[in-house]
Structure 1
Amino acid sequence: MESGTRRDIEYFSKLIHETVHIPVFYMNKDFEMITGFPAIFTGNPLYPSNDEIYRQLDIYSDPWHIPVLRTTNFLENFISIKVGNNDEFEGAWILGPSVYSPIAFETINGLLNDFQVRVTADIIKEYYDSLPVINKLTLLHAGLLATNLLYSKRLSVTDVIQKDSSLANNIIIGENPDLHVSKNRQEISFHASYEWEQKLMQCVKEGRKEELIKRLVVPDTEGKPGILSKKSHLRSEKNLAISAITLATRYAIDGGLHPELAYTMSDLYIQGLEEMKDALELQTYLREALCDFTDRVNKAKHHKYSTPIIECQSYIFKHLYEEITLGQLAKVVNMHQNYLSALFKKEVGMTITEYIIKLKVEEAKKLLTHSEYEISEIYTWLNFHDQSHFTKVFKKYTGTTPKKFKFSKGLT
């Protein structure tokens, strides 16, 4: 590489690092570090050496003058730009690592289990917490900017995505679907009908639990469930259950269940079924999950509100552990405070303040029942002034004190 180009990359690297706050490195064809920002960077402890991860990016196969976005098995994101010309590979300009969102302990433990790595979760968490959180679009834009700076080449996000797709390995289905359908025709053996599935999920969407149970007891007699794993019947049943819960989640949201609650239920139910060892137990578990979604939709359907009120309730739901003011809500829905206050009282039957307090008390009840948190921790998180204020409000809505409520649930 010419010294001028190397100086350009060093200068551009510094600018991108200071602007986007992402690590930026240039490595030669032997993957030796030539320049990098920050100057001191702690590598992923899951790799034997700092340059190991860059070797795994397979930059040799990258196209020329095109930024390539890759995500590793350990959820790190990189933009790589192949440096050189069509005849000679000279090195790689690399932006990363970064992550799309903070990595939770549960995810880290899952990765350690999947790859059988002997590193403590705390050390890995410290590494992930040190990485910048950058969304995919911003990362792609950084790659486009770097390419333009180096090669004066104007590209779009679509150009990069299409080129990235062409780099992916061709995925071949194990069996030809057309031949499989032909075999099913010969044996008169088909999947459960789409109409039956629609009617089942419509019960979830409309909160009709009794009809849901009837349809589950008497399944589609003209079809059969798909086989989603050839090696394990239990794995196949789990995959079918995951598919059903995923569908139920979407239908429940369409039926009025709050998306965050629906997605959380989906996560927890799927995590639960993964621990099961018995296919019959799994069927009961799935039925209970679908009934739970349906029950919650039924409760939600009793309250039909206008769009501004729904948006207010959604904001309150997401920010319950924060201080919420009428002014904030008015900005969310672009309304005058007085008008919003009157509309909320008219539709919901209580003031915004009363609604927020009621939700906080319900949240406190859940924490007192299902966790080991101290009462002092709970009222602090929920922004009550002090324990006296929390106790007074809690008793007003429940008829008892937090301490007595917790004791009544068998918790001390």
Structure 2
Amino acid sequence: MNLNELRYLSKALAKSTSASVRLYQRENQVYYYSIYPMNPDPFLLYEKNMLQSEHIAGIITTDLFQFYGYVSLDDDYRIVIGPSSILTKDKNKLDNLLFLLDVKEKYHEEYIGKLKCAPSISAERIGWLLSFIASTINKNPLFVEDVFVETKSENHQDDIMNSSMQNTLFFSGEKESSTLFIDNYQNEKMLLFYIKNGQPEALKELFSAFPKIKAGTMANDTLRQLKNMGISCATVASRAAIEGGLNVQTAFHLSDLYIQKLEMLRNAASIYPLIKQMLLDFAERTKQVKYNCNSSSKLFLKCANYVSINLFNNIKIEEIAAEFGISRSRLSNQFHKQTGNTLTQYILQEKILESQRLLQFTNKSNAEIALHLAFSSQSHFQTVFKKYTGITPNRFKNAKSDL
């Protein structure tokens, strides 16, 4: 890419993330864009070390637990993104930053205000972003595991874990103590949709993006706040699972069990993994109920994985059987015996679940969805949809839009 193209890429990156972005050619800054430009640029304190780094891509953590990410491109260019929002309220460290940058006292309040406007981007998300940029421009895959992360000293490992998690579990000031938010209302509905419909695999994919979970302010200290947020998660997840068919007593018992586990934790960094485990557990149990099988059914799991991978293709049972090295009749009989449903029913159920997601969360037409899910025609899609849901796709979409 030439310089003009890289400048445009840098601006697009800044616009899409609300973060400051800098473009360097060797050690010279050739472009800078920020919605909240700061003078002096706080990155100056880290510029030398970052530009001299021998790693293709990396993330540094500041004393205030902000993150800067950098990625090297072909032709001696390097893109730097950051900082992210401040994750620790340490007045001494903030005062030291202002001192090192020689910010005049009369500008302190304005400068701190701009620092606080930096976007909440976790280190994990920055890592995925750097991986995407490097893999796309350099045409050489850079795996996120290979992004070098420079932390503080070993004594700060727990602080960094907590800060990263608190960035992932980001709290709004809204007084909605019983409601779970994930980035926005649509994302919250999608997570609950996956639990209700027993789709733990889709839920794992959603978690891989490390969405920010917002909850109302329910306590003054961080640990209590995180525990209360986990309790809210347990409440809404159990309701979604019950709607999906999970036994009420089972759902409430599971909710109580995870709440007890949450209350026993003494380390904030342990809470988010437990919440993810809980939500996946609800989704997995709902899946078992929906398809009348348990997690020990290896045949079902193999079929479910095959259908998930090939969901947008015309799936043929004989092709699945050939993949597993068994006859079509044996596959069909064993699947029906273990689940109570035919394999064809399961395939269509999964396609209809995906069509519901598309109808609810996208603007795709019935014809586009039918083609996307490899139905023979739009009318075939509509017929199957009504058979499994009891209503037409249009009625489903209108009902969801009214919520």
Q: TM-score of the superposition, structure 1-length normalised?
A: 0.44
Structure with higher RCO (Cα < 8 A, 6+ apart): 2
- Structure number with bigger Rg: 1
Give the TM-score normalised by the residue count of structure 2. Answer: 0.45
